[in-house]
Chains A and B, each alone.
Chain A
Amino acid sequence: MKLLTHNMLTSKCMKAVTVGYPLAINASDVRVSEVDFNPDFIAKIIPKVDWAVLWNAAESIGQLEGLPKEIVENYENDQDFLKKAHHVLLEVDVINGELICPETGRKFPINNGIPNLLLNEDEV
């Protein structure tokens, strides 16, 4: 699971949860793989990303690699910043571990890079 996906995921589908964001990551296996750099897409997706959540998630799995804590001004033209954002958003992959709902503490296992978000019948 990429951190871009994690940045969008919530657990609000559960019955008792109102916001369910952000999910905490408890990673046991993290892999970094190379993905083609597409500056247009990164510049387009940054306004949608919750930057503080991304930064905390990257820090919690030790993949910060110099990512600034705030979005820099005029980031569309800052190649260096876009490359760092690209690395954290798309190249870092959580292979095994779990996601934890901030409200109920429900754990969603991540196996082989696929988060299992299936809910039991009493949770819907």
Chain B
Amino acid sequence: MSRPEHLAPPEIFYNENEARKYTQNSRIMDIQMQMSERAVELLLLPEDEPCFLLDIGCGSGLSGSVLEDQGHFWVGMDISTAMLDIALEREVEGDVLLTDMGQGCPFRAGTFDGAISISALQWLCNADKTTHKPVQRLYKFFSSLYACLSRSARAVFQFYPENSEQMELVTAQAMKAGFYGGVVVDYPNSTKAKKFFLVLMTGGNVPLPKGLGSAEETQGVSYISKREQIKKARGKPLKKSRDWILEKKERRRRQMKDVRADSKYTGRKRSGRF
């Protein structure tokens, strides 16, 4: 899988050509929409109440349109002018700002009821200039984000971590900034559909929501029941079971041996007294 963040810094990579894809390529648009919808679902906003949200790395405003459709108001920030021009062209309702998330979120304390970010966080893990220090930039970003969210607000980041160390780096900086939460993985057993959502909470530690498509039942249970079915199909009852004892007695009767009569007590466990 190619990683755009290895090719060039975001403000260079998302040029006019790349930005154009976000209005023309229906597959990209579809995936962005789906991820945005899932991110909003994870935000757990109060129902039927318009909220004021922050979209980090809003790009051409695809995720913003999802917020609009659900009746929310939003402000977006992005580092690519080409992408923001596309957002203007699409006439999104929210305001967009040209900012670098690694320099912090330039808002007053307690401004937003929530924040979402689609496919942006991994860009922060790269040092594109000699002055960039990913750990410091991540911490600056998360601490300023924590300040501009209202209490009990959530922030949901869909991102593509390169490896487990990167995931740990991001999560550790978020916790250091005061957030609770962790990573929710949707469809963990699929390479293509697997999606990582970093769910951060400001007010207290609440259990994380479950990822979609994760296996509910353990494999051991289904294995045992399968083995029993196979045994039954072979015609032999499970050893030491009542059926097995009855069958054995029947066989010994046929051999003209002295066998006790069957009763309701046949095959029962002895009580503890013996």
Contact = CB atoms under 8 A, between A and B. Distances in A.
Interface of A: 1-2, 4-5, 7-13, 20-21, 35, 38, 40-41, 44-45, 48, 50, 112-119, 121, 124
Contacts of B49: 40, 44
Given A38-B50, A112-B88, A13 B98 contact: no
B107 A8 contact: yes
Given A5-B97, A8-B107, 12 more contacts: A2-B95, A4-B73, A8-B148, A13-B106, A13-B140, A40-B49, A40-B50, A114-B88, A115-B97, A117-B98, A117-B106, A118-B99
B113 to A, nearest CB: 9
B84 A48 contact: no
Interface string B151-163: 0000000000000
B273 interface: no
B5 interface: no
17 contacts: A1-B95, A1-B97, A9-B97, A9-B107, A13-B144, A38-B50, A41-B52, A45-B73, A48-B110, A48-B111, A114-B96, A114-B97, A117-B97, A118-B79, A118-B99, A118-B100, A118-B103
Contacts of B129: 121
Given A9-B106, A9-B107, A119 B100 contact: yes
Interface in B60-84: 71, 73, 75, 79, 81, 84
A48 B149 CA distance: 12
Contacts of A114: 81, 84, 88, 96-98
A45 B74 CA distance: 12
Contacts of B84: 114
A48 B113 CA distance: 11
Contacts of A2: 95
Contacts of B79: 118
Contacts of A48: 52, 110-111
Nearest to B104: A13
Nearest to B91: A33
Contacts, number: 76
Interface residues on B, range: 20 to 34
A11 B140 CA distance: 14
B131 interface: yes
Nearest to B148: A8
B99 A21 contact: no
Contacts of A38: 50, 71
B106 A118 contact: no
B98 A116 contact: yes
B169 to A, nearest CB: 20
A38 B95 CA distance: 17
Contacts of A9: 97, 106-108
Contact of B95 (A5, A13, A44): A5
Contacts of A115: 97-98
A10 B107 contact: yes
A21 B98 CA distance: 18
Nearest to B48: A40
B93 interface: yes
Contacts of B140: 13
